[in-house]
Amino acid sequence: MYLTFNSLIVSPLPIPLHLFLYCLYTAWDLVNQSISYIFLILNNCVNILVSVLISFYVMSCDSLRCTHDLPKVPKLDACSTKSLLVVSDSMMVFTIALVVIINLALSKSQVCPPADVCVRQAPYKNVTITTDSTYRYVTTSQCPPYQNPQWTNPSVACDREITYKIPLHPKLPTAVKTIPVGEGLKVWNNILYLKEDPAPIFGAMGVLLSGVNIFGVGSPCGYSSRCPENGGPSKYVDAVESEGHTTDQCGGHADPHHTYHIHSNTGFNSSKTGGRKNCQLPVDDPGKHSQLLGWMFDGFGIYGQFSEDGKVPTDLDECGGHTHSINGVSVYHYHFPYPSKFPWTIGCFKGCPEASNNPHEYSGFTKYGC
Same domain, 91 and 219: no
Same domain, 154 and 70: no
At residue 45, the pLDDT reads 57
Give me the chain's average pLDDT, please: 80
Which of 82, 107, 132 terminates a domain? The answer is 107
Same domain, 176 and 320: yes
| 183: in domain | yes
| 129: in domain | yes
| 6: in domain | no
| 157: in domain | yes
Confidence band of 214 (pLDDT split at 50, 70, 90)? very high
- In this prediction, residues 323-338 reach a mean pLDDT of 94
Domain coverage including residue 76: 15-107
Total Cβ atoms within 10 A of residue 238: 26
For β-strands 321-326 and 348-349, DSSP reports them as unpaired
Same domain, 182 and 94: no
Same domain, 303 and 190: yes
| 2: in domain | no
Cβ atoms of residues 306 and 334 within 8 Å: no
Confidence band of 224 (pLDDT split at 50, 70, 90)? confident
Same domain, 70 and 127: no
Least confident of 4-8, 199-203, 277-281: 4-8
User: pTM to 2 decimals?
Assistant: 0.71
Which of 46, 80, 107 terminates a domain? The answer is 107
Same domain, 86 and 129: no
Q: Is pLDDT at 189 greater than 80 in this prediction?
A: yes
Half-sphere exposure of 88 (CA within 13 A, CB side): 17
Same domain, 33 and 122: no
- In this prediction, residues 164-173 reach a mean pLDDT of 98
Least confident of 42-56, 174-188, 286-300: 42-56
List pLDDT tens digits, range 230-275: 999 999 999 999 999 999 999 999 999 999 999 999 888 745 446 8
| 7: in domain | no
- In this prediction, residues 71-80 reach a mean pLDDT of 47
Instruction: Report the number of distinct structural domains present in the chain.
Output: 2
- Helix ranges (H only) for 230-315 are 239-243, 273-278
List pLDDT tens digits, range 85-116: 454 455 555 655 554 454 444 444 446 888 89
Same domain, 148 and 240: yes
| 1: in domain | no
Confidence band of 194 (pLDDT split at 50, 70, 90)? very high
| 171: in domain | yes
Same domain, 60 and 164: no
Same domain, 170 and 125: yes
For residue 368, what are the contacts with CB-CB under 8 A and spacing of at least 6?
173, 175, 176, 179, 352
Same domain, 48 and 72: yes
